[in-house]
Amino acid sequence: MRELHHFVNGQSVSGTSGRFADVYDPNTGEVQARVSLATPSELDSAVQAAVNAQPAWAATNPQKRARVMFEFKRLLEANMDELAHMLSAEHGKVIADSVGDVQRGLEVIEFACGIPHLLKGEYTEGAGPGIDVYSMRQPLGVTAGITPFNFPAMIPMWMFGVSIACGNTFILKPSEKDPSVPMRLAELFLEAGAPDGVLNIVNGDKEVVDAILDHADVKAVSFVGSSDIAQYVYSRGTANGKRVQAMGGAKNHGIILPDADMDQVVKDIVGAAYGSAGERCMALPVAVPVGKKTADEFVERMIAEARALKVGVSTDKDAHYGPVVSAAHKEKVENYIQMGVDEGADLLLDGRGHTLQGHENGYFIGPSLFDNVKPGMKTYKEEIFGPVLQVVRAETLEQAAELPSKHQYGNGVALFTRNGQAAREFASKVNVGMVGINVPIPVPVAYHSFSGWKRSAFGDHNQYGMDGVRFCTKVKTVTQRWPEGDIGDQSFIIPTMR
């Protein structure tokens, strides 16, 4: 049995806890490896390695740190195929989707290559008589990231790329469901020229998460996961004086106006709803057609489009999506489908019981489609996180826009229309953090920031982009003068610039 341990101070380190979690192949349901679950003591060893490495790394000039990022980017591109296959083997998403996972993380590394410019402060000459004022951005010290199973390449790179470029050192606690890619990223980062101890991987469960949140030397924590856990991480981390950015769940809506291009709408939403088996926090699991004619046409065409989807193993080049990540998650999604039936929604496509010949124990779920879902239903209120699309019908744009605006989650929303004025007003007023206009998955590019609202995000800073730089640094402001001759009498009056 292959064993995965930890990556600390530039080398693989065997776990000492004696506790392991199984790593499954979602395509077969078989255990393919096991990963060591760290103790607080093991976490402390990793933090101490990061503490020891941080002063020298922070003192390395930003241009040299950027060169490490440039080389890491090159290595990611050179090893893209290996990373994608490794990712698919543990997560279950198809290879093309795994390439996208790595690529979107790589784009944040590209952003971090510009760190010499991003860290520049401000300067005012002559703010007062002989007085100049300037600011500088300095690293926090040791930072940490706790990442989910659904993007084992992208989200770790969202976090550690910006933080390390800013001069911090980093502790990553990846999901125990698919830890191999984060471990490989750490090896490549070391190969790119990062010193030992700059990036450390500690595998574990809640025990090590709590140890991160309580450790005095960890100054900031980034998290992505469910909203309940995000709120817990935020509360416990901030109570211990840490900076915390914690991203939670989502229930993203796609509103379809009567003037929308229905060909585009159906193609976009089928991919956004069912791609990666719906295991994306920016998936689009709720369609809101406006008007009966629009709704009837959309539902009819979506049934045909979803039926044509091929569910296959991760390495099947013709498959549109693969299995969900685990048996427990498959059961959870299928229970939500039954709940939707019990609540009175119309189940038009039922993906339960989907099997593949030769892979009967894999965690496959076919595309499911509900019509006439109501806002009061529990299945609408909660995140299903599987290949399930719910249709909520609306009579007007105003009624449709109220749905995402009033929902507990506020990650993303999409509007499909040809009406520029309606789109402009909608984007301005909807109570959601990320808006797509004829774009079904509006994840911002790397030089903007991922910006969920409401119970989709806890904290005052967003992920990556300039908000990531702000989160990973502290601003120091210096007011200076160089007096000549007699300084004069001591003053107890607050200085002013008069």
Active-site positions read: 281
Q: What is the DSSP string of 265-326?
A: HHHHHHHHHHGGGG--TT---EEEEBSHHHHHHHHHHHHHHHHT--B--TT-TT-SB---S-
461: left (phi over 0), alpha (psi -120 to 50) or beta: beta
Q: Report the relative pairing of strands 412-416 and 253-256 from DSSP bridges.
A: parallel
Buried b (16+ CB within 10 A) or exposed e, 255-291: bbbbebebeebbebbbbbbbbbbbbbbbbbbbbbbbb
SS3 content of the chain, % helix, strand, coil (to 5): 40, 20, 40
Q: How far is CA 347 from the centre of its chain?
A: 31
The two beta strands, 2-4 and 30-36, are parallel
Phi/psi at 79 (nearest 5 deg)? -110, 20
Whether 326 and 308 have beta carbons less than 8 Å apart is answered as no
- For residue 443, the 8-state DSSP code is P
- Angle between helix 227-239 and helix 206-214 axes, rounded to 10 deg: 30
**Which residue has 């309940």 as its token pair?**
228
SS3 category, 431: coil
For residue 123, give both structure tokens: 């300067």
Tell me the C-alpha distance between 91 and 325, whole Å. Answer: 5
CA torsion, points 410, 415, 419, 420, in degrees to nearest 10?
A: 50
Cα-trace Rg, the chain:
25
CA-nearest of 5, 3, 48, 21 to 183 is: 5
List C-alpha distances in Å: 202 to 45, 182, 281: 10, 10, 24
Query: What kind and span of H or E run contains 490?
Result: none
Instruction: Please name the helix (run of DSSP H) or strand (run of DSSP E) that holds residue 433, with its range, or none.
Output: none
Specify the residue for token string 């078989």: 30
Do 362 and 30 touch, CB atoms closer than 8 A?
A: no
Distance CA 303, CA 306 (A): 5
Concatenated DSSP letters for 88-142?
A: HHHH---HHHHHHHHHHHHHHHHHHTTHHHHT---EEEEEETTEEEEEEEEE-SE
